[in-house]
Amino acid sequence: MSRHPTIKQLRYLCSVVEHGHFGRAAKACHVSQSTLSAGILELEEVLGASLLERNNRSLVLTGLGEEVVERARGLLLDVEDLVALCQASAEPLSGRLRLGVIPTIAPFLLPGLLKSLRSDHPEFTPFIREDLTEPLVDALHRGELDLLLLALPVQADGVESMHLFDDPFFLASPVDHPLAAKSDLDTGDLQGQELLLLEDGHCLRDHALEACKLRGREYTVPYQATSLTTVVQMVASGIGVTLVPGMAVTAGALATADVTVTPFADPSVKRDIGLMWRKKTPRQTEFRLLGEYIMKRQDQG
């Protein structure tokens, strides 16, 4: 009877490729380096093929190894989904969930949401990863995350999304700025302004500019930051104005005497908040239940 690769062997191989180092891969798999190395050698023996080229400086996949890793990742993802299917069938919102959240949502929405979930669903155990949209989507595709909470739309293959609620944009400006006192603020008022923005890679930047229909020549950017908190501090210093999400305003992130927050007259100046998951996941029903739970909390204020 012919032997077949084991799930453990395939996991060892994928871990080595991901980390590029036997020691780091072994740590990630919670085994010794010798155990991991032996497992990969056994895998090569079972398959009758060399998958890795080893030298003192680096690990290089053979041509066949690249294809094996790609298929192994798919198999491991299917195994994860199989386990998740059985867990979800027991009772929704009762098991482990690996949730990815973007930085312009996490600090404003998660504290209240997680507290509420602990009270209503004590057996539900979310593990949170905060990162930018692109790395989170990549992690979702690799099976490292189950679900994403982010701003939509996001261009990605093999995923489904669920709209949760609209998050309106506000203008944050120094208290003595001419726009601070406007009662009918329009996006056209931003033309020619010094607009403080987050760095490239933050979807808040793109969504804000798109919502306000602003093009590069219509504003100047004197400063770019890695966090919304820093941008608000720059506004308080009188350097310029910025666009902030409503959930940040509600959470009190702009509660400073040096900054005025002004709503736009047009309700379409907003971003869409939603969930995203892999199309093949068996937990779609559970994810939609979580989405409905989040929407209900938002409606209740």
Distance, in Å, from the CA atom of 14 to the CA atom of 6, rounded to the nearest integer, reads 13
Same topology between domain 7-86 and domain 93-301: no
**203-233 pLDDT, tens digit each:** 888 898 888 887 766 678 877 888 898 999 9
Could you tell me the two tokens for 59? Answer: 């690990």
Distance, in Å, from the CA atom of 57 to the CA atom of 276, rounded to the nearest integer, reads 39
Predicted model pTM? 0.76
Q: Strands, E, within the chain: which ranges?
A: 52-54, 59-61, 96-101, 125-130, 147-152, 159-174, 197-198, 224-225, 242-245, 259-263, 270-278
The class of domain 93-301 in CATH terms is alpha beta
**121-155 pLDDT, tens digit each:** 998 899 999 999 999 999 999 888 999 999 999 99
Q: What is the pLDDT of residue 295?
A: 96
Distance, in Å, from the CA atom of 84 to the CA atom of 120, rounded to the nearest integer, reads 21
pLDDT band for position 175 (cuts 50, 70, 90): very high
Amino acid identity for residue 187 in this structure: T
**6-35 pLDDT, tens digit each:** 999 999 998 988 888 888 889 989 999 999
**Mean of the per-residue pLDDT values of the chain:** 88
**25-71 pLDDT, tens digit each:** 899 899 999 999 999 999 999 998 889 887 666 778 888 888 898 88
Could you tell me the two tokens for 198? Answer: 């987050």
Q: What is the pLDDT of residue 100?
A: 98
Q: Sign of the CA dihedral 151, 156, 133, 96?
A: positive
How far CA 229 is from CA of 39, 144, 192, 293, in Å, comes to: 47, 28, 24, 28
Reduce the DSSP state of residue 245 to 3 states and report it. Answer: strand
The class of domain 7-86 in CATH terms is mainly alpha
Looking at the chain, the whole-number percentage of residues with pLDDT higher than 70 is 95
Q: What are the extents of the domains in the chain?
A: 7-86, 93-301
